[in-house]
Structure 1
Amino acid sequence: MIVIDADGCPVVNLTLDIAQRFGVKCCVVADTSHSFDFGDKAEIITVSKGADSADFRIVNLIKNGDIVITQDYGLAAMCLAKTDCVLNQNGLIYSQNNIDSLLAQRHISKKIRRAGGRTKGPAKRTAEQDEKFSKALISILKKRTLV
Structure 2
Amino acid sequence: MTHTHPHIFIDADACPVKDEATRVAERHECVITFVSNGGLRPSRNPMVRHVVVTKSADAADDWIVENAGENDVAVTADVPLAARLVEKGLHVLGPTGRPFTPESIGMAVAMRDLKQHLRESGEIKGYNPGFTPKDRSAFLQALDQTVRRAKRNVSA
Structure 2 counterparts to residues 51-130 of structure 1, below 5 A = 51-119=57-125, 121-130=127-136
Structure 1: give runs of 5+ residues left out of the alignment: none
Task: Tell me the amino acid that sits aligned with residue 45 of structure 1.
Answer: V
How large is the RMSD of aligned CA atoms in angstroms?
A: 1.5
5+ residue gaps, structure 2: 1-6
130-139 vs 120-129, greater mean Cα deviation: 120-129
The Cα offsets for residues 96-139 of structure 1, whole Å up to 9 and x where unpaired, read as: 11111111111111112222333352222211111111111111
Alignment size in residue pairs:
146
The partner residue of 1:37 within 42, 48, 66 is 42
Cα 1:60/1:144, change in 2 over 3 Å: closer
Query: Higher relative contact order by CA 8 Å / sep ≥ 6: 1 or 2?
Result: 2
* Cα distance in structure 2, aligned partners of 1:92 and 1:71: 9
Structure 1 counterpart of 2:71, one-letter code: G
Aligned residue in 1 for 2:139: 133
CA distance in 1, matches of 2:40, 2:30: 22
Aligned-pair CA distance for 1:81: 1.6
For 1:136, what is the secondary structure of its paired residue? helix
1:15 corresponding residue in structure 2: 21
What TM-score do you get using the length of structure 2 for normalisation?
Answer: 0.86
Letter paired with 1:39: R
